[in-house]
Structure 1
């Protein structure tokens, strides 16, 4: 298993329930493709570096997980269309 991190920025203009649902959907996708979530770090509402879809703020979440090397491609395909997610980045973490 390889260690990965999924950084997700969720729309700040949606309700708390919808925001939680978007993050839960991302977690479910990770588990659906054989990943085991090790840590979820919520950074809260932060200012974006640049405007995205006329928004200046978003909620930042960092989900660390272990998965096989084939899982990230499948996860990225589906995170791209999750409602409420305005940006995401999935990276492989260093072993050190």
Structure 2
């Protein structure tokens, strides 16, 4: 079996729980057709570079899988006809990277930055 990475964009009016359920649904399709899901990530609601189906935002999901080509083809077919999925991208990879993806690492780094209080901002001298 081959190793794949799948990224999909779901409609913006879904809740976070519905988007994560969609990730599980697509993973289950792979499992039902003889594949296995190595890992999943929910990247969150992000602004799109251009409008897709009259929407400016979308829920991003990511799957790592080890599956035969027919299982991937079936998952892509069902994702493309699913009403909530706007785009699907599947890439075959030689090996999966360990740990979280760059998207999750960047989000974690942003969350770990120390927050400055409003009083820590430099003040402008308004008398001059």
TM-score, scaled relative to structure 1 = 0.86
Higher helix fraction (1 or 2)? 2
Runs of 4+ in 1 over 3 A off after TM superposition: 15-18
Partner residue in 2 for 1:26: 26
Once superposed, what is the RMSD of the aligned Cα atoms?
A: 1.8
Inter-partner Cα distance in structure 2 for 1:64 and 1:38: 5
State which structure, 1 or 2, has the greater radius of gyration over its C-alpha atoms. Answer: 2
- Whether 2:8 is the aligned partner of 1:2: answer no
Inter-partner Cα distance in structure 2 for 1:69 and 1:53: 29
TM-score, scaled relative to structure 2 = 0.66
Unaligned runs of 5+ in 2: 97-128
Say which SS state the counterpart of residue 95 (structure 1) adopts. Answer: coil
Question: Which structure exhibits the higher relative contact order, with contacts defined as CA atoms closer than 8 Å and separated by 6 or more residues?
Answer: 1
Unaligned runs of 5+ in 1: none
* Larger deviation, residues 65-74 vs 13-22: 13-22
Q: CA shift at 1:17, angstroms?
A: 4.4
Mapped contact 1:7–1:89 kept (Cα < 8 A): yes
Residues 14 and 38 of structure 1: CA distance in aligned 2, closer, same or farther (over 3 Å): same
